Amino acid sequence: MSRWAGSVVVLAATLASAAVLALAVGGCGSSSSGVSDSKIVDSLGLKQSGGGYEMGGDPFCRVDQLLNDSDEVHQADDHPGASGFVIAGPNESVGVLAQRPFAPNCLRQAKQALKHLEKQSG
């Protein structure tokens, strides 16, 4: 192997290690601060389905992402015409990114559950 090829291999291995470390430190779907994924899942009665969750197994109550703190709530993709929209507690300290169409009864239940979860966590 040439000296250049060996350098490329070392660089690739270093980058791969850095990526794995970044995922581990980032939590990869969980939050070290704010409300835990498990508390959100339990409070909303979510069941895993495909790449996300459904409230009570209802496909018209689909949640794509759990938002564990106010930073995640504010950074979530919530603009007109988007396929998803944010449902958050009144203090916007916890929420979910829901997928349209989303049933009105699920919206009411989610808002109520997130409000209760904020009271428990804060």
As a whole number, the mean pLDDT across the chain is 79
Region of 57 on the Ramachandran plot (φ > 0 left; ψ -120 to 50 alpha; else beta): left
Instruction: Write down the pLDDT at residue 96.
Output: 97
pLDDT in tens, 49-74: 988 999 999 999 999 999 999 999 99
Instruction: Write down the pLDDT at residue 115.
Output: 97
What is the rounded distance in angstroms from the CA atom of residue 8 to the CA atom of residue 110? Answer: 50
Instruction: Write down the pLDDT at residue 83.
Output: 77
- Tell me the pLDDT band of 79, cut-offs 50, 70 and 90: low
DSSP 79: -
Residue 15 has pLDDT above 70, yes or no: no
Instruction: Write down the pLDDT at residue 84.
Output: 87
Instruction: Write down the pLDDT at residue 1.
Output: 56
- Tell me the pLDDT band of 91, cut-offs 50, 70 and 90: very high
Instruction: Write down the pLDDT at residue 5.
Output: 46
Instruction: Write down the pLDDT at residue 33.
Output: 74
